[in-house]
Amino acid sequence: MAQNRWVADDSHRVQTPILEAKNLAVSYEIRDGQVNAVRDVSFKIHRGETLGLVGESGCGKSTVAFSIVRFLGKNGRITGGSIRFQGQELQDLSEREVRSLRGDQMAMVYQDPFQSLNPCMRIGDQLCEVLQEHRGLSDREASVRAIQMLDAVYMPDSAAVMRRFPHQLSGGQQQRVVIAMALLNNPALLIMDEPTTALDVTVEAVVLDLVDELRRRLDTGVLYITHDLGVISRVADRIGVMYAGEMVEVASAVDTFIRPMHPYTEGLMRCVPKLGLSKESSSLYPIRGRVPAPTALPPGCVFEPRCDYARRRCREKHPELRSVEREHLVRCHRAEEIRETEWRPSDETILDLQERLRSRSEDGSKVLEVSDLRTYYDQESKGILSLFGLGEKRQVKAVDGVSFEVGAGTTLGVVGESGCGKSTLARTIIGLESSRDGKIDFLGFDATLPLSRRDKRLIKDLQMVFQNPDSTLNPSFPVGYQIARPLRRFGKVDRARIGDEVVRLLNRVKLDGSYYDRLPRQLSGGEKQRVGIARAFATNPRLVLCDEPVSSLDVSVQAAVLNLLMEIQQEHNSPLLLIAHDLSVVRFFSDAIMVMYLGKACEIGPAEAVYAPPYHPYTEALLSAVPTADPRVEQKRIRLSGSVPSALNPPTGCRFHTRCGRKVGTICETEEPPEIGFGDQHRIYCHLPLEELEAMDAVITA
């Protein structure tokens, strides 16, 4: 970026922040008393500034947002401190005044766009309603304004979108409609609570760009809440880190990432894999323990029980949020003394693990060989003929000719946007879906057989860890019983020794024997996922399929679960198939990576080769979209337009041609792309000439 000669001076403007919270405290009444969910939180948001709030779930981020707009519910109330909006104390305002502020000057965008839109109203009517209600515009004026706003959020074909219903739009488009709706009244403050969490990385990147641009153009103050450090590094000017209901650090985005001063912020940074680093070259260090319940806070510093730097003073005296450097507030007694470079992990085994991973040897034998696998779903046409069985049969080609292999002890990562067939691929291999064509050779077994006709040994050797542990653990049986089930079923150990074996497995996933009799609902999300892993590894499988095993977990839990998976994989030397949408995680964990788009592989090869040029144009776009938790990293800006086309009627030729920024010509629309090999098993399926592929620049430069 060219250096500007100078920037305009804005010091003559009103200096009153859009929003200023001072010592804010919020409590919820519960049956046996009061929960102080948020305590002593202070921050300011100036015009045209984005403040990011980060922290693990349960740290009070959303409670802060709800207290601003008075959405705390019947049992919640502000018990102390003040919130000033545009210099006015919000608590002094009547319910009616707050309601009119909410419509006119504050707006909110939530995680799930579909829930913010009325499913039975056309988009246009919903947008116009806002303008008619608050501004009293006529139908015509309102619809002109609404279309302008849709254009402002880069909605393609905005006039047509006005006539659609929410379900006819993709997730990214829905979120854009919600943002457009929030901005219709030109609010001074925009509160966004995890607005991109439900979206694909490519769509997320577009939405984040949009938020940033609108903030600059409209001078809106933005409160951006997320648990994702990568996202926050991309959008926020300043970052507030929350822990257990308190603000523990407030600093500029750059300072937060480069010189974090609170041990919790440091800890969070160590939990996320840096894009481009592998498990051999770096380690994840989960923060031990977990967030304390608001009813059982430690007497001193709230982070003390999990802090590696804690001293006696930390146990005894609660630290204040204080200014350590200019514009850098930290709630830690020892902020000046602690140095990140002096930090040593409390759990030395993590370093051993990295050592072991480095020194492991691959014997090169193949465990899984998939060739030209196809999985189609039949879709009945809705015409009248189909009633007589004469309707045209259509097929969703979820997986359409995919070939790859997984070697012993290695991990193959599979990435791609939602709807690209990643999960179907895993479900076909495990036998939950039946394949239409192609071969799956698993240690000599034919794994294309449906589950009912599979050999018991095949079932035993092929296990899966699912994304959502809630829906894969039976809620009515204790954990121990569920882990014991595969042991009994496959007779791996004597019936008499099953109990001991379950305890051993629980210990293996760092849970103690007391978990044996607990029910899934008594476990936290991370613990449930550990049980899921213990169950998958109970039968000593030869291949484990992991479908988004960490995507529903907080970063510190995610780091612990990833470490655990690596450790167990190391121990059993069992290969893994890892499906994830988080490209940093996939890069970190995998030895080889396959990038999928609409049921086909675009690129496959060793992890470091896939994440470096030459790229398939789709891989290039994915890497450019992934939010990195480091503001120093420069990323090329490539944005994909639109969403993944329907697999019912995929584009001809190269399936990516409709969104490709490097389209060669009509050949992309008519012919399947050829395979281009780059040695070392790196293959790209693309029409681009070899010279052009080889001349590509790296997307990410540190």
Partner 1 sequence: MLVQDYMTKHPLMGRLTMSISEVQHYMADNDLRHLPVVGDGKRLLGLVTRQSLLVEPVRLRSLDVWEISRYLTTESIDVVMIPADDVITIKGDATIEDAARTMVRNRVGCLPVVEDGIVVGIITETDLLAQLAEIMACSADIPAVRATVQMPNRTGNLAKMVQAIAAQDWGILALGGAVNRDDPAVWDAVVKIDNVTKDAVREVLGEVEGHRVTDLREA
Task: Tell me which residues touch partner 1 (CB under 8 A).
Answer: 5-9, 12-16, 18, 47, 86-88, 94, 97, 100, 103-105, 134-137, 141, 185-186, 188, 218-221
Is the CB of 123 or the CB of 142 nearer to partner 1?
A: 142
Q: Which is nearer to partner 1, 185 or 569 (CB)?
A: 185
Least separation in angstroms between residue 392's CB and partner 1 is: 52
State in angstroms the smallest separation of the CB of 13 from partner 1. Answer: 5
**What are the CA-CA distances from residue 555 to residues 13, 285, 427, 494 (Å)?**
40, 10, 26, 38
Count other C-beta atoms under 10 Å from residue 157's C-beta: 9
Contact 430, 462 (CB under 8 A): yes
Q: How many C-beta neighbours within 10 Å does residue 505 have?
A: 22
Q: Which is nearer to partner 1, 48 or 613 (CB)?
A: 48
Residue nearer to partner 1 on the CB measure, 9 or 157: 9
> Hey, is 242 helix, strand or coil?
strand
| Secondary structure of residue 115 in the 3-state scheme | helix
CA–CA separation, 294 and 280 (whole Å): 38
Closest distance to partner 1 from the beta carbon of 50 (Å) = 15
Rg (C-alpha) for the chain, rounded Å, is 27
- Tell me how far apart the alpha carbons of residues 372 and 368 are, in angstroms, rounded to a whole number: 13
The CA-atom distances, in angstroms, between 561 and each of 72, 346, 522 are 33, 17, 18
Q: C-alpha angle with apex 501: 499 to 505, nearest 5 degrees?
A: 120
Q: Which of 262, 265, 244 is nearest to 59 (CA)?
A: 244
User: Least CB distance from residue 180 to partner 1, whole Å?
Assistant: 17
In whole angstroms, give the CA distance from residue 494 to residue 254. 57
Smallest separation (angstroms) from partner 1 to the CB of 128: 14
The answer to whether 417 and 619 are in contact (CB under 8 A) is no
What's the full length of the chain, in residues? 702
Confirm if 288 and 346 have CB atoms less than 8 A apart.
yes
Name which of 219 and 608 has its Cβ closer to partner 1.
219
Tokens standing for residue 489: 């079923």
Q: Exposed (0-12), middle (13-18) or buried (19+): which is 389, by Cβ within 10 Å?
A: exposed
As measured in angstroms, the least distance from the Cβ of 46 to partner 1 is: 11
Q: How far is the CB of 100 from partner 1 (least distance, A)?
A: 5
DSSP state of 497: G
Strand partners, 370: 404, 440
Decide whether 85 or 224 has the Cβ nearer to partner 1: 85
If the CB atoms of residues 104 and 608 are measured against partner 1, the closer one turns out to be: 104
397 sits in which H/E element: strand 393-407
Q: Which is nearer to partner 1, 131 or 594 (CB)?
A: 131
With 0-12 CB in 10 A as exposed, 13-18 as middle and 19+ as buried, what is 204? buried
| Minimum CB distance to partner 1, residue 126 (Å) | 17
CA distance 123 to 177: 8
Residue 190 vs 561, nearer CB to partner 1? 190
Distance separating alpha carbons of residues 194 and 645, to the nearest angstrom: 26
| Least CB distance to partner 1 at residue 90 (A) | 13
Based on CB atoms, which residue is closest to partner 1, 148 or 323? 148
Which residue, 46 or 530, has its beta carbon nearer to partner 1? 46
Report in angstroms how near the CB of residue 86 gets to partner 1 at its nearest: 5
Helices (H), 117-188: 123-135, 139-152, 158-162, 171-183
CB of 186 to partner 1, least distance (A): 6
In the complex with partner 1, the residue whose CB is nearer, 213 or 316, is 213
Q: How far is the CB of 333 from partner 1 (least distance, A)?
A: 34
**Smallest distance, partner 1 to C-beta of residue 433, A:** 53
**Closer to partner 1 at the Cβ: 2 or 14?**
14
DSSP 8-state secondary structure symbol assigned to residue 191: E
Element holding 209 (H helix, E strand) = helix 201-218
Instruction: Give me 442's structure tokens.
Output: 């698993």
Closest CB to partner 1 among residues 89, 362:
89
Report which secondary-structure segment, H or E, holds 691.
helix 690-694
CB of 130 or CB of 578, closer to partner 1:
130
| Own/partner pairs, 659-663, CB within 8 angstroms, 24+ separation | 659/621, 660/617, 660/618, 661/617, 661/621, 662/617, 662/620, 662/688, 662/692
From CA 274, how far away is CA 271, in angstroms rounded?
Answer: 9
Task: Supply the minimum distance, in Å, between the C-beta of residue 215 and partner 1.
Answer: 11
Q: How far apart are CA 349 and CA 16, in angstroms?
A: 51
Smallest distance, partner 1 to C-beta of residue 149, A:
14
Give the list of residues 6+ apart from residue 22 with CB closer than 8 angstroms, or none: 42, 81, 82, 83, 84
